[in-house]
Amino acid sequence: MRAYELMVICDGDLENSEARKAMDEVQSRVSEIGEVASFDFWGMRDFAYEINHKTRGYYSVIELRAEPGAMDPVERYLRIADDVVRHKLIRLPDNEAQRRGLLDLGSANSQ
């Protein structure tokens, strides 16, 4: 298992409840292929620059564990989802994942 952090920005034109519903769908898809360690809905934030003629969006961060390559279907979904403005999936370095309590470094090195 590897540790990942997924940031998703939903369209700022949505209602708060619609943005949460969109993020519930993302979280559900992630749960099907991995383990969600934490989910943090940041709410509406201003963008640093305009994206697709939008200046605001709903930010969410999910920390998760999954097998290598398992997140490909989720990323494919995020690329085509109408409510998602941007997303970023990063694999956390093992020492950072251990610091966050997502991995036991001893078992991560043995795989």
Instruction: Write the pLDDT tens digit of every residue in 15-59.
Output: 999 999 999 999 999 999 999 999 999 999 999 999 989 999 999
Distance (Å, whole) CA 57 – CA 108: 35
Q: What is the pLDDT of residues 52-95, one digit of tens each?
A: 899 999 999 999 999 999 999 999 999 999 999 999 999 999 99
Read off φ and ψ for residue 107, nearest 5 degrees: -75, -25
Distance (Å, whole) CA 43 – CA 60: 7
Distance (Å, whole) CA 33 – CA 18: 24
Whether 103 shows a pLDDT value over 90: the answer reads no
Q: pTM surpassing 0.75?
A: yes
- What is the chain's alpha carbon radius of gyration, rounded to the nearest angstrom? 15
